[in-house]
Structure 1
Amino acid sequence: MLRSFEQLRATARADLLIAADDEHAALAGSGHYATPWHWHDCLMFILPSQGTVELKHEDQREGTWLSQDRFAVVPSNRAHETRAAIGAHRHVALYVTGAILRRLDREAGSLSEFYRRTRTTTVVRRTATVRALQALSLRNGRSAYGNSGVKHSLTSALLVQCIAEVMAGEVMGSATHGEHGMALVEDLKEYLTQHADEQIPLDALAERFGISRRHITRLFREGTGFSVGEFQMRIRLQTARELLGGTDLPVGEIAFRVGFESGAALAHAMRRSDGRSPSDIRKLLARQIKI
């Protein structure tokens, strides 16, 4: 089934369309995502930002796993299908017409190496620059990043950076089953770090990431050496130490900010971990700064 550039741009749901013009369109995908065999009259970049996506294509029908450290380029008129793996996922799909590639070839320099590398479906290592541009393009809300003009500029920059990395970056293979698991662990670590001040039951994590409590517990222990609770406690104490050393906030306020019920509860946890009270740690850090 052909899905043309015009169809993709015109029929995209408003909540999925990030930015579009006559030459490129950026769409977000998430949840229980699956698209059966089809092809486009335009080139596609598919970039996971959480979880993994399985890509099957004419040259590798058994499937290629894409995780956050790699993205794929599918040439126009190449049949493929995509689906999200088990667990929560998000991705960005960039659809690119020949017109914009020809314009970039004229204005930015030869794309001959890009064309050579993308004669067939190609998987490329994703750098921190691509990841940052992708994250910014997915931001919503009332901030500047939610402005349509800014989003168009960000997706244009993302496209140019992806092209540059195809030409100069590392061509990769499919993610292994183990790498798929580690990608999930990284997502869990990031989520727990961002919500370290909250009590997050395993059931809530299982529902959010779409896998069982048992699977989360096993994967997280294998990937970090800690249980979910131990990891979250380490993040809380680390943040508390940073606040003790870098601010004059009262211990009770710091305790509240990092998820403890009281200064006494924070002090108890710190003594168990370091053998020192919050005031001892604050004095020690102050001496180290003077030195």
Structure 2
Amino acid sequence: MIAAEDGHASLANSGAYAKPWHWHDCVMFILPSQGTLELKHEDRREGTWLSHDRFAVVPSNRAHKTRAGIGANSHVALYATGDMLHRLDRDIGSLSEFHRRTRAAVLVRRTSTIRTLQELAMKSDDGAYGHAGVKRSLSAALLVQCIAEVIAGEMMPNVSKREHGMALVADLKEYLTLHADEDIPLDALCERFGISRRHVTRLFRDGTGLSVGEFQQGIRLQTARELLSGTDLPISEIAFRVGFDSGAALAHAMRRVDGRSPSDIRKEAPSPARQARSSRAQAAQSAVAE
């Protein structure tokens, strides 16, 4: 339980989550935080997949079932009673458009505002003064923002099982890009995302055409190219920053992939110092001309 008060509540779930067919006498919002979640409901029994870019709204008394997808996952579920929605309609503004759009279960784009409120609501800080009150306020703000996105935001299409796999690949790519300078064993990656070596290897190659190692190597080399062209940093320093043991190791990888050495790439691009001098000279010429 994250927070609860008269009319609404918010719960956090993770791990091997699964709920058989059931219904609520209130509106439910499901917001994935990590990984994916399958949602089936009486209007779409073949199911759809939720990931970090969308959330679902299930109307009251609508039968549905949910289960976590393959891999590490967590999500937040918000519940709002009819009385709570009536108070919002009275105190904040009409919810007629919200009710019109949620006659059946819908998927809505999860914006950066919702993502931030969700992360804050899930943050654990039990020892802080007023912790329970802060949680209730954040939960209420998250609920109101979700309603606002349903009214004015972008409705999203249903997602197939294949697209669910691609969402997991997107999460893997984002993680590998953020940690491209680190050596990440495949077993460690599998443990983090809760999937087997065989599954992550097949899924990643199907989605990118590359192995995990090839993708990470590509990110390292692209970052190295940008640093070589845009900075005067020593080649050994660039090699260290992007995850190679030495300048020689970076040079070997670049020659194998590009057929060029780091020095070749640097020679082909004007140095930042020369670019700066050129810009100052152009500015001076313009001032004289004026």
Q: TM-score, normalised by structure 2?
A: 0.77
- Measure, in 1, the Cα distance between the counterparts of 2:224 and 2:116: 27
1:27 aligned to 2:11?
yes
The CA deviation at 1:281 is 3.0
- Measure, in 2, the Cα distance between the counterparts of 1:253 and 1:138: 39
Q: Which residue in the other structure is 2:91 paired with? A: 107
Q: Secondary structure at the match of 1:71?
A: strand
1:95 aligned to 2:47?
no
Gaps of 5+ in 2: 280-290
- Measure, in 2, the Cα distance between the counterparts of 1:29 and 1:44: 14
Q: Which residue in the other structure is 2:282 paired with? A: none
Given candidates 178, 181, 188, the residue that maps to 2:165 is: 181
Q: Which residue in the other structure is 1:50 paired with? A: 34
Stretch of structure 1 that moved more, 269-278 or 255-264: 269-278
Given candidates 81, 85, 96, the residue that maps to 2:65 is: 81
Given candidates 255, 262, 265, the residue that maps to 1:277 is: 262
Identity of aligned residues (%): 71
- Measure, in 2, the Cα distance between the counterparts of 1:149 and 1:269: 55
How is 1:74-223 mapped onto 2 (pairs within 5 angstroms)? 74-139=58-123, 152-223=136-207
**CA shift digits 1:137-169 (9 cap, x unpaired):** 445579x9xx76665554444322321221233
Q: Secondary structure at the match of 2:71?
A: coil
Gaps of 5+ in 1: 1-11
1:262 aligned to 2:246?
yes
Stretch of structure 1 that moved more, 243-252 or 71-80: 243-252
Q: Which residue in the other structure is 1:8 paired with? A: none
- Measure, in 2, the Cα distance between the counterparts of 1:244 and 1:276: 11
Q: Secondary structure at the match of 1:40?
A: coil
The CA deviation at 1:243 is 5.0
**CA shift digits 1:238-289 (9 cap, x unpaired):** 3344555666665444433332222332343344445242695396451456
The CA deviation at 1:45 is 0.5
Q: Give the aligned residue type for 2:89.
A: D
- Measure, in 1, the Cα distance between the counterparts of 2:242 and 2:135: 33
Larger Rg: 2
- Measure, in 2, the Cα distance between the counterparts of 1:267 and 1:138: 45
Q: Give the aligned residue type for 1:47.
A: L
The CA deviation at 1:194 is 2.2
Change (3 A) 1:43 1:266: same
- Measure, in 1, the Cα distance between the counterparts of 2:271 and 2:10: 47
- Measure, in 1, the Cα distance between the counterparts of 2:197 and 2:68: 20
Contact 1:67/1:175, CA 8 A, preserved across alignment: no
Q: Give the aligned residue type for 1:117.
A: R
- Measure, in 2, the Cα distance between the counterparts of 1:266 and 1:148: 52
- Measure, in 1, the Cα distance between the counterparts of 2:6 and 2:38: 29
Contact 1:70/1:123, CA 8 A, preserved across alignment: yes
Contact 1:33/1:83, CA 8 A, preserved across alignment: yes
Q: Give the aligned residue type for 2:159.
A: A
The CA deviation at 1:58 is 3.2
Change (3 A) 1:263 1:204: same
Q: Secondary structure at the match of 1:231?
A: helix
How is 1:242-253 mapped onto 2 (pairs within 5 angstroms)? 242-243=226-227, 250-253=234-237
Q: RMSD value over aligned CA atoms?
A: 3.3
Q: TM-score, normalised by structure 1?
A: 0.77
Contact 1:196/1:258, CA 8 A, preserved across alignment: yes
Change (3 A) 1:108 1:240: farther
Contact 1:71/1:125, CA 8 A, preserved across alignment: yes
Contact 1:270/1:278, CA 8 A, preserved across alignment: no
Contact 1:255/1:266, CA 8 A, preserved across alignment: yes
Q: Secondary structure at the match of 1:35?
A: strand
Stretch of structure 1 that moved more, 51-60 or 278-287: 278-287
